[in-house]
Amino acid sequence: MNVHPDLSFLALIKTASIVVQAILGLLALLSLWSWWHIFIKLFQLSRAARDADAFEESFWKGGDLNELYQQASQAKTGSGLEHIFTAGFREYAKHRRQGSTSAVTLDSARRAMRAAYQREIDTLEAHLAGLATVGSVSPYIGLFGTVWGIMNAFRGLSNVGQATLAQVAPGIAEALIATAIGLFAAIPAVVAYNRFAHDVDRLAVRYETFIEEFSNILQRQG
- Is position 52 within any domain? yes
Q: What is the pLDDT of residues 16-44, one digit of tens each?
A: 778 888 999 999 999 999 999 999 999 99
Q: In this prediction, what percent of the chain has a pLDDT beyond 90?
A: 45
pLDDT of residue 123: 92
- Is position 166 within any domain? yes
- Check whether 138 has a pLDDT greater than 90: yes
Cα angle 143, 19, 173; round to 5: 55
- Check whether 129 has a pLDDT greater than 80: yes
- Is position 116 within any domain? yes
Q: What is residue 7's DSSP assignment?
A: -
pTM of the model: 0.82
- Is position 3 within any domain? no
Tally Cβ neighbours within 10 Å of residue 9. Answer: 11
Domain that includes residue 79, residue range: 9-221
Tally of structural domains, the chain: 1
Are 84 and 113 spatial neighbours (Cβ–Cβ below 8 Å)? yes
**At 100, is the pLDDT very low, low, confident or very high (cuts 50, 70, 90)?**
low
Q: What is the pLDDT of residues 180-190, one digit of tens each?
A: 999 999 999 99
Distance (Å) of CA 217 to CA 65, 80, 106: 10, 19, 10
pLDDT of residue 125: 93
Average pLDDT, the chain: 85
- Is position 1 within any domain? no
d(CA 141, CA 161): 33
- List the one residue out of 124, 137, 119 whose CA is nearest residue 33: 137
- Is position 91 within any domain? yes
pLDDT of residue 173: 77
- Is position 182 within any domain? yes
Distant-in-sequence, close-in-space partners of 90: CB < 8 Å, separation ≥ 6: 69, 73, 112
- Check whether 160 has a pLDDT greater than 80: no
- List the one residue out of 6, 140, 30 whose CA is nearest residue 16: 6
- Check whether 3 has a pLDDT greater than 60: no
**At 176, is the pLDDT very low, low, confident or very high (cuts 50, 70, 90)?**
confident
